[in-house]
Chain A
Amino acid sequence: MPTDQELLLKSFALRRRMLRLIHHAGAGHTGGGLSCLDILSVLYHRVLSISPESVDSPTRDRYVQSKGHCVEALYTVLADRGYFPDSDLDTVCRYGSKYVGHPTRKVRAIEMNTGALGHGLPICVGMALASKMDGDAFRVFTLLGDGELAEGSNWEAAMAAAHHRLDNLTAILDHNTLQITGPTRDVMSNEPLDAKWRTFGWEVRSTNGHDYAALSAALTAPHPGRPLFVIANTVKGKGVSFMENVARWHHGVPNDDELKRALAELEDAEAKCREGSP
């Protein structure tokens, strides 16, 4: 299992790869991809009991990306983990490619086709119920976005998950506080998040969504009798100064110059990080 420092060093390469993917595809969700990438890295390195060898096992942990628009981050992490060749990333959104602009089961290790918001959590409730019926055979995880929480189906599922005491279910919020129009608090406030989810009967944990140790702890500590909601506090556009906390990068695609600047920033940051490494 990689150390925090190894994950941090890897994150620079993953961010660069994802940006090149989006630039090449000419489409994508840059800001949210950069905000959730560390969460995905922790999930696929430390949390999910899944590997390219066990990807078809009935007892594998399930991950459903409800905020499906950030598929570029997921494709990048899956390629890095060896589920498919890195060169496949150059086909994302291309004519005839199986790598659609939202998650699709045609791609190895992707569990469900998502992209319309508010679908992942209900699906995961069904998966967690299936696991319970089979003696807690596996755990189920989903990733939600801030803006997505305005979809009412999430709250139907939140009620059902607590009602059925699904302590094998974890929902992670990529809490970057921005959505396509601007700050979520201005579009449709979802606060107070912790109180809302607690009232719905969930265990709630709040953590830094770019801190590998804190995320790992939040995602792995048991939560008997209740589903778990992890508020992962993140930065939209994380790692690229001119993208951070700027709503237009929700689905902004870097041009050639912006890509060059972003890659250079990430290379510099990685170099500094390596210099400081023991």
Chain B
Amino acid sequence: MAGKLGLKLGRANLEEFADTLQVLATVDRSIVAVTSDSRGSGKLAPFGKALPRQIIEVGIAEQNLVGITAGLSACGKKAFGVSPSCFLTARSLEQIKNDLCYSDVPGVLVGISAGVSYGALGSTHHSLHDFAALRAISNITIIAPADNFETREAVRFAAIAAHPVFLRFGKAAMYDVTPAGTRFEAGRAVTLRDGHDVAFLANGETVVHALLAAANLADAGIAARVVSVHTVKPLDLSTVLATGRDCRVVITVEEHMVHGGLGEAVAAALLTAGLKPAFRSVGIPDEDTVTGAQADIFRHYGISMERLAATARELLKGRTSGSC
């Protein structure tokens, strides 16, 4: 199906991140990567070899990683703290809240192997809370890029941002979903495909599934809009609200628990604006997550072309029952 849409398979966003950071750091010597025994999993081994004076190892100590990232950032360095998102955004939450966000230093945190990238390793290694936890903290931009283009641009944005930024990457190779000529702007969602029946608002590694579902629906004469809401915070209100005005059905899709992430952010925005399209938040439900690879978990919880298309048809027919 991806081939039918003409989508080209790129590489893992994590690899794109590491290469982009190395290119930037070669020019801007103030850029520093901070790792917690994570340079391999963060694809930063080449960075370390090429720029050994710009990478700092802190060992398996995520609280220290964030504190050090903040200290570097307060002293003129552009520090990127890189660690698995599951540990980075849970164990170090107080350091993120106080050392980076409250102190307002321009550090960047990179949550690698996010969501259910570590699939079968279990919930210790899942980060299904990170959007929710960080959304509740003032002064941080939260970005989950969909493809290599969004990744590259998000890293470039983060490298010059004046305030804290959280970047979230998975491990799987990503299809290039962004149309050529698209301009990336943090906080500005990208409409990948237009339509006025259904809107899929998705981010990160789920976007391609929404795009495929839209193509599937088109075969049945249903026009679906697909928006990559790469920035969860600040939310692009005008684009989100336009979907609520233009489309009968709005479906959010995210690799995150249904509590506190993109879905609830969009729902709150729509309701606050008085917009009440048929709505469904697709994500990981509040339960003991099923065991399996990322693809298994996605299918199990309805993040797939077939299930997203079915959800859209169901909502269009007015059958809106189901968990949210």
Task: Please report A residues at the B interface, Cβ cutoff 8 Å.
Answer: 58, 62, 105, 111-116, 118-119, 121-131, 133-134, 152-153, 156-157, 159-160, 163-164
| Min CB–CB distance B109 → chain A (angstroms) | 13
Q: How far is the CA of A157 from the CA of B62 in the complex (A)?
A: 11
B103 touching A122, Cβ below 8 Å: no
Interface stretch among B52-60, B111-119, B238-246, B290-298? B52-60
Q: How far is the CA of A157 from the CA of B34 in the complex (A)?
A: 14
A119 touching B74, Cβ below 8 Å: no
In the bound complex, residues from chain A placing their C-beta under 8 Å from that of B71 are: 112, 122-130
A130 touching B59, Cβ below 8 Å: no
In the bound complex, residues from chain A placing their C-beta under 8 Å from that of B102 are: 113
B320 at the interface (CB under 8 A from A): no
CB-based nearest A residue for B104: A105
A112 touching B64, Cβ below 8 Å: no
- Selected from B63, B70, B103, the residue in CB contact (under 8 A) with A156 is B63
Q: How far is the CA of A163 from the CA of B102 in the complex (A)?
A: 28
A58-B76 contact in complex given A133-B53, A156-B61, C-beta closer than 8 Å: yes
- Selected from A122, A124, A133, the residue in CB contact (under 8 A) with B32 is A133
A116 touching B76, Cβ below 8 Å: no
B98 touching A160, Cβ below 8 Å: no
B280 at the interface (CB under 8 A from A): no
B89 at the interface (CB under 8 A from A): no
A129 touching B74, Cβ below 8 Å: no
In the bound complex, residues from chain A placing their C-beta under 8 Å from that of B73 are: 126
A-B contact pairs, 7 of them (CB 8 A): A105-B103, A112-B74, A121-B67, A122-B63, A125-B64, A126-B67, A127-B74
B69 at the interface (CB under 8 A from A): yes
CB-based nearest A residue for B97: A116
B72 at the interface (CB under 8 A from A): yes
| Min CB–CB distance B322 → chain A (angstroms) | 41
In addition to A123-B68, A129-B71, 6 A-B residue pairs with Cβ atoms within 8 Å of each other are A62-B74, A114-B98, A115-B98, A116-B94, A119-B98, A163-B59
B1 at the interface (CB under 8 A from A): no
A62, A126, A129 pick with most chain B CB within 10 angstroms: A126
A127 touching B94, Cβ below 8 Å: no
B99 touching A127, Cβ below 8 Å: no
In the bound complex, residues from chain A placing their C-beta under 8 Å from that of B63 are: 118, 122, 152-153, 156
Q: How far is the CA of A121 from the CA of B67 in the complex (A)?
A: 8
- Interface size of B in residues (CB-CB distance below 8 Å): 29
A119, A121, A164 pick with most chain B CB within 10 angstroms: A119
A125-B98 contact in complex given A105-B104, A130-B75, A133-B77, C-beta closer than 8 Å: no
Q: At the interface, is chain B mostly helix, strand, loop or mixed? A: helix
A160 touching B59, Cβ below 8 Å: yes
| Min CB–CB distance A58 → chain B (angstroms) | 6
Q: How far is the CA of A202 from the CA of B98 in the complex (A)?
A: 27
B74 touching A111, Cβ below 8 Å: yes
Q: How far is the CA of A115 from the CA of B103 in the complex (A)?
A: 11
A123 touching B99, Cβ below 8 Å: yes
In the bound complex, residues from chain B placing their C-beta under 8 Å from that of A122 are: 63-64, 66-68, 70-71, 95, 99
In the bound complex, residues from chain B placing their C-beta under 8 Å from that of A157 are: 64, 67-68
A129-B68 contact in complex given A105-B104, A114-B98, C-beta closer than 8 Å: yes
B79 at the interface (CB under 8 A from A): yes
CB-based nearest B residue for A128: B71
A127 touching B64, Cβ below 8 Å: no
A115, A122, A157 pick with most chain B CB within 10 angstroms: A122
In the bound complex, residues from chain A placing their C-beta under 8 Å from that of B72 are: 126-127, 129-130
A126 touching B79, Cβ below 8 Å: yes
Interface string of B92-132 (1 = CB under 8 A from A): 00110011001111000000000000000000000000000
In the bound complex, residues from chain B placing their C-beta under 8 Å from that of A58 are: 75-76
| Min CB–CB distance B291 → chain A (angstroms) | 31
B67 touching A130, Cβ below 8 Å: no
A112-B79 contact in complex given A119-B98, A133-B53, A153-B67, C-beta closer than 8 Å: no
Q: How far is the CA of A62 from the CA of B72 in the complex (A)?
A: 12
**4 nearest CB pairs, A to B:** A126-B71, A122-B67, A130-B75, A126-B68
In the bound complex, residues from chain B placing their C-beta under 8 Å from that of A134 are: 76
A159 touching B59, Cβ below 8 Å: yes
B69 touching A126, Cβ below 8 Å: yes
CB-based nearest A residue for B75: A130
In the bound complex, residues from chain A placing their C-beta under 8 Å from that of B99 are: 112-113, 119, 122-123
